[in-house]
Amino acid sequence: MIVATLVLGAATFLAAAPPPPATQAKPLRISSVVMQTKLIQTPPLKYPEDARKKNIQGDVALDIVIGTNGSVKSVKVTDGPKELTKAAVNNVKHWRYQPTVLEGKPVEVETTVDLQFKLTKPPAPKSAKGTAQK
């Protein structure tokens, strides 16, 4: 803290310099449930062809940081099949959130995201049951 002395006539006043503006040291941690309500753009998730051929399914867990403008700044894989993680990261990088505001200022947010990769079986072909007309 800087202290300045101001002399006016016979009186002396001590004035403290204003504190420096606060900077956000770490992103604000917010639950995934809350952040899901702020999600405004999610492109379709593309299943990796190699994983599809190998019948690989599962969940990919990610830690993400959302910037002050609502875009995803960083993505870190915390769990999931390695064959699915690249597709998960590439998808989430294109997500957009409503910016989070604290005390009137936008702030960065850290949250978790879980993406589920699940293969569905193609529908069974329908048999052609025609009725013969006489």
Do residues 45 and 119 touch, judged by C-beta distance below 8 A?
A: no
Do residues 3 and 19 touch, judged by C-beta distance below 8 A?
A: no
Q: Is the pLDDT of residue 123 over 60?
A: no
Structure confidence by residue, pLDDT tens digits, 43-92: 999 999 999 999 999 999 999 999 999 999 999 999 999 999 999 999 99
Tell me, which fold does domain 23-117 have in CATH? TolA/TonB C-terminal domain (3.30.2420)
Which residues lie across from 20 on neighbouring strands?
none
Predicted pLDDT of residue 94: 97
Predicted pLDDT of residue 121: 74
* pTM exceeds 0.75: no
Predicted pLDDT of residue 33: 95
**Once rounded to an integer, what is the mean pLDDT over residues 114-120?**
94
Cα–Cα distance list, 116 to 46, 81, 84, 120, 131 (Å): 11, 11, 10, 12, 44
What is the end-to-end Cα distance of the chain in Å, rounded? Answer: 102
Predicted pLDDT of residue 2: 40
Amino acid type, 16: A
Structure confidence by residue, pLDDT tens digits, 13-38: 455 555 555 556 799 999 999 999 99
**Domain residue extents for the chain:** 23-117
Query: What count of other Cβ atoms lies within 10 Å of the Cβ of residue 100?
Result: 21
